[in-house]
Amino acid sequence: MTATAPRRRGRPSRTESAAGPATRDRILAAAREEFAQRGYEKTSVRSIAKAAGVDPALVHHYFGTKEQVFEAAVEVAFVPALSASGAIDEGPLDGVGERLTRFIFGIWENPATRAPLLAIVRSAVNNETAAAVFRRLVAAQLLGRIARRVQLPDAELRATLAAAQLVGTAMLRYVIKVEPLASADAEQVIARVAPVVQGHLTGD
Protein backbone atom coordinates (compact mmCIF):
# COMPACT_ATOMS: atom_id res chain seq x y z
CA MET A 1 0.00 0.00 0.00
CA THR A 2 1.47 3.31 -0.94
CA ALA A 3 1.58 6.21 1.45
CA THR A 4 -1.78 7.84 0.87
CA ALA A 5 -2.51 8.36 4.53
CA PRO A 6 -4.02 11.86 4.23
CA ARG A 7 -6.77 10.51 1.97
CA ARG A 8 -7.69 7.56 4.20
CA ARG A 9 -11.24 7.44 5.40
CA GLY A 10 -11.49 5.02 8.31
CA ARG A 11 -10.26 1.45 8.26
CA PRO A 12 -9.63 -0.55 5.15
CA SER A 13 -12.92 -2.05 3.98
CA ARG A 14 -13.49 -5.52 2.67
CA THR A 15 -13.39 -4.17 -0.89
CA GLU A 16 -9.98 -2.82 -0.21
CA SER A 17 -8.43 -6.00 1.10
CA ALA A 18 -7.59 -7.15 -2.42
CA ALA A 19 -6.08 -3.78 -3.21
CA GLY A 20 -2.53 -2.57 -3.37
CA PRO A 21 -0.21 -0.69 -5.69
CA ALA A 22 -1.52 -2.70 -8.65
CA THR A 23 -5.07 -1.57 -7.92
CA ARG A 24 -3.95 2.01 -7.53
CA ASP A 25 -2.19 1.84 -10.88
CA ARG A 26 -5.23 0.27 -12.48
CA ILE A 27 -7.42 3.10 -11.18
CA LEU A 28 -4.95 5.66 -12.52
CA ALA A 29 -4.84 4.01 -15.93
CA ALA A 30 -8.64 3.92 -16.02
CA ALA A 31 -8.79 7.57 -14.93
CA ARG A 32 -6.41 8.62 -17.68
CA GLU A 33 -8.48 6.74 -20.23
CA GLU A 34 -11.75 8.22 -18.94
CA PHE A 35 -10.43 11.78 -18.85
CA ALA A 36 -9.03 11.32 -22.36
CA GLN A 37 -12.23 9.87 -23.79
CA ARG A 38 -14.90 11.85 -21.98
CA GLY A 39 -13.12 14.98 -20.84
CA TYR A 40 -12.88 16.28 -17.30
CA GLU A 41 -16.46 17.36 -16.87
CA LYS A 42 -18.15 14.19 -18.01
CA THR A 43 -15.80 11.91 -16.07
CA SER A 44 -16.86 10.97 -12.56
CA VAL A 45 -15.28 9.02 -9.72
CA ARG A 46 -18.02 6.48 -10.37
CA SER A 47 -17.16 6.13 -14.07
CA ILE A 48 -13.46 5.76 -13.24
CA ALA A 49 -14.27 3.10 -10.65
CA LYS A 50 -16.44 1.24 -13.13
CA ALA A 51 -13.73 1.34 -15.81
CA ALA A 52 -11.18 0.06 -13.31
CA GLY A 53 -13.54 -2.61 -12.00
CA VAL A 54 -13.39 -1.38 -8.41
CA ASP A 55 -15.74 0.17 -5.88
CA PRO A 56 -15.92 4.00 -6.06
CA ALA A 57 -14.98 4.07 -2.37
CA LEU A 58 -11.59 2.71 -3.35
CA VAL A 59 -11.04 5.59 -5.77
CA HIS A 60 -11.87 8.02 -2.98
CA HIS A 61 -9.64 6.09 -0.63
CA TYR A 62 -6.59 6.32 -2.85
CA PHE A 63 -7.05 9.74 -4.36
CA GLY A 64 -9.85 11.74 -2.77
CA THR A 65 -11.93 13.94 -5.09
CA LYS A 66 -12.20 13.85 -8.88
CA GLU A 67 -9.83 16.82 -9.04
CA GLN A 68 -7.27 14.87 -7.03
CA VAL A 69 -7.61 11.82 -9.29
CA PHE A 70 -7.09 14.13 -12.26
CA GLU A 71 -4.01 15.67 -10.69
CA ALA A 72 -2.58 12.22 -9.97
CA ALA A 73 -3.32 11.11 -13.54
CA VAL A 74 -1.57 14.16 -14.95
CA GLU A 75 1.33 13.70 -12.61
CA VAL A 76 1.81 10.06 -13.50
CA ALA A 77 1.79 10.95 -17.21
CA PHE A 78 4.02 13.94 -16.96
CA VAL A 79 6.38 13.79 -14.02
CA PRO A 80 8.18 10.51 -14.85
CA ALA A 81 8.96 11.85 -18.31
CA LEU A 82 10.14 15.03 -16.67
CA SER A 83 12.42 13.19 -14.27
CA ALA A 84 13.68 10.92 -17.02
CA SER A 85 14.51 13.89 -19.19
CA GLY A 86 16.11 15.20 -16.01
CA ALA A 87 18.67 17.35 -17.62
CA ILE A 88 16.39 19.99 -19.18
CA ASP A 89 17.44 22.59 -16.68
CA GLU A 90 20.89 21.07 -16.22
CA GLY A 91 23.65 21.09 -18.82
CA PRO A 92 24.75 24.15 -20.77
CA LEU A 93 22.30 27.06 -20.68
CA ASP A 94 22.63 27.57 -24.42
CA GLY A 95 21.20 24.10 -25.03
CA VAL A 96 18.17 24.44 -22.77
CA GLY A 97 15.87 25.42 -25.67
CA GLU A 98 16.73 22.29 -27.61
CA ARG A 99 16.47 20.03 -24.55
CA LEU A 100 13.06 21.42 -23.65
CA THR A 101 11.84 21.17 -27.25
CA ARG A 102 13.05 17.58 -27.60
CA PHE A 103 11.44 16.69 -24.29
CA ILE A 104 8.05 18.03 -25.39
CA PHE A 105 8.26 16.46 -28.85
CA GLY A 106 9.35 13.19 -27.22
CA ILE A 107 6.13 13.07 -25.19
CA TRP A 108 3.92 14.00 -28.14
CA GLU A 109 5.57 11.74 -30.70
CA ASN A 110 5.16 8.69 -28.44
CA PRO A 111 1.58 7.38 -28.76
CA ALA A 112 1.67 6.03 -25.19
CA THR A 113 2.31 9.45 -23.69
CA ARG A 114 0.44 11.45 -26.31
CA ALA A 115 -2.98 10.20 -25.18
CA PRO A 116 -2.72 11.35 -21.56
CA LEU A 117 -1.23 14.68 -22.64
CA LEU A 118 -4.09 15.19 -25.04
CA ALA A 119 -6.47 14.47 -22.18
CA ILE A 120 -4.78 17.13 -20.10
CA VAL A 121 -4.88 19.71 -22.85
CA ARG A 122 -8.52 19.02 -23.71
CA SER A 123 -9.55 19.14 -20.08
CA ALA A 124 -7.53 22.25 -19.30
CA VAL A 125 -9.05 24.09 -22.26
CA ASN A 126 -12.58 23.18 -21.21
CA ASN A 127 -12.58 23.29 -17.47
CA GLU A 128 -11.28 25.74 -14.91
CA THR A 129 -10.47 23.06 -12.32
CA ALA A 130 -8.46 21.10 -14.84
CA ALA A 131 -6.74 24.31 -15.96
CA ALA A 132 -5.70 24.91 -12.36
CA VAL A 133 -4.13 21.45 -12.19
CA PHE A 134 -2.30 22.15 -15.46
CA ARG A 135 -0.99 25.42 -14.03
CA ARG A 136 0.20 23.82 -10.81
CA LEU A 137 1.91 20.83 -12.34
CA VAL A 138 3.12 21.79 -15.77
CA ALA A 139 3.61 25.51 -15.46
CA ALA A 140 4.86 25.66 -11.91
CA GLN A 141 7.06 22.56 -12.00
CA LEU A 142 8.49 22.60 -15.49
CA LEU A 143 8.55 26.32 -16.20
CA GLY A 144 9.58 27.19 -12.66
CA ARG A 145 12.65 24.99 -12.91
CA ILE A 146 13.63 26.49 -16.24
CA ALA A 147 13.01 30.06 -15.13
CA ARG A 148 15.24 29.56 -12.08
CA ARG A 149 17.98 28.34 -14.35
CA VAL A 150 17.64 31.30 -16.73
CA GLN A 151 18.05 33.82 -13.92
CA LEU A 152 16.98 36.90 -15.87
CA PRO A 153 14.64 39.47 -14.29
CA ASP A 154 11.78 38.45 -16.61
CA ALA A 155 12.71 34.77 -16.66
CA GLU A 156 9.20 33.62 -15.79
CA LEU A 157 7.55 35.55 -18.61
CA ARG A 158 10.24 34.24 -20.96
CA ALA A 159 9.56 30.67 -19.84
CA THR A 160 5.80 31.02 -20.46
CA LEU A 161 6.41 32.45 -23.95
CA ALA A 162 8.78 29.57 -24.73
CA ALA A 163 6.07 27.23 -23.49
CA ALA A 164 3.56 29.06 -25.69
CA GLN A 165 5.58 28.19 -28.79
CA LEU A 166 5.67 24.54 -27.73
CA VAL A 167 2.02 24.35 -26.66
CA GLY A 168 0.89 26.04 -29.87
CA THR A 169 3.06 23.79 -32.03
CA ALA A 170 1.64 20.73 -30.28
CA MET A 171 -1.91 22.04 -30.66
CA LEU A 172 -1.60 22.70 -34.39
CA ARG A 173 0.48 19.60 -35.16
CA TYR A 174 -1.11 16.91 -33.00
CA VAL A 175 -4.56 18.18 -32.00
CA ILE A 176 -5.98 20.40 -34.76
CA LYS A 177 -3.63 18.86 -37.35
CA VAL A 178 -2.94 21.91 -39.49
CA GLU A 179 -0.86 21.15 -42.56
CA PRO A 180 1.97 21.20 -43.46
CA LEU A 181 2.94 21.23 -39.77
CA ALA A 182 0.97 18.05 -38.96
CA SER A 183 2.88 15.93 -41.50
CA ALA A 184 6.27 17.66 -41.36
CA ASP A 185 9.27 15.64 -40.28
CA ALA A 186 9.74 15.98 -36.51
CA GLU A 187 13.43 16.83 -36.85
CA GLN A 188 12.65 19.58 -39.36
CA VAL A 189 10.15 21.10 -36.93
CA ILE A 190 12.51 20.77 -33.96
CA ALA A 191 15.23 22.49 -35.98
CA ARG A 192 12.95 25.52 -36.38
CA VAL A 193 11.34 25.52 -32.95
CA ALA A 194 14.32 24.86 -30.67
CA PRO A 195 16.16 28.12 -31.52
CA VAL A 196 12.94 30.07 -30.96
CA VAL A 197 12.49 28.48 -27.56
CA GLN A 198 16.13 29.24 -26.76
CA GLY A 199 15.63 32.83 -27.93
CA HIS A 200 12.66 33.30 -25.64
CA LEU A 201 14.64 31.96 -22.69
CA THR A 202 17.99 33.63 -23.11
CA GLY A 203 17.84 35.99 -26.12
CA ASP A 204 17.80 39.78 -26.19
Q: Which residues bind a second copy (CB under 8 A)?
A: 39, 121-122, 124-126, 131, 134-135, 139, 143, 156-158, 160-161, 163-169, 171-173, 175-181, 184, 188-189, 192-193, 196, 199-200
> CB-wise, 39 or 95, nearer to a second copy?
39
> CB-wise, 27 or 163, nearer to a second copy?
163
Least distance CB 14 / a second copy (angstroms): 39
Least distance CB 59 / a second copy (angstroms): 25
> CB-wise, 7 or 42, nearer to a second copy?
42
- Cβ pair 4, 88 in contact under 8 A: no
Q: How many whole angstroms separate alpha carbon 81 and alpha carbon 198?
A: 21
> CB-wise, 18 or 164, nearer to a second copy?
164
Residue 200, number of CB atoms within 10 A of its CB: 21
Which residues does 186 contact at the CB level (< 8 Å), separation at least 6? Answer: 105, 109
Least distance CB 64 / a second copy (angstroms): 23
> CB-wise, 15 or 160, nearer to a second copy?
160
Element (H, E) at 60: helix 56-63
Q: How many whole angstroms separate alpha carbon 170 and alpha carbon 177?
A: 9
Which residues does 25 contact at the CB level (< 8 Å), separation at least 6? Answer: none
b vs e for 134-163, b when ≥16 Cβ sit within 10 Å of the residue's Cβ? beebbeeebbeebbebbeeeebbebbeebb
Q: Which of 203, 19, 190, 170 is nearest to 93 (CA)?
A: 203
Least distance CB 155 / a second copy (angstroms): 10
Least distance CB 77 / a second copy (angstroms): 17
Least distance CB 147 / a second copy (angstroms): 10
> CB-wise, 78 or 134, nearer to a second copy?
134
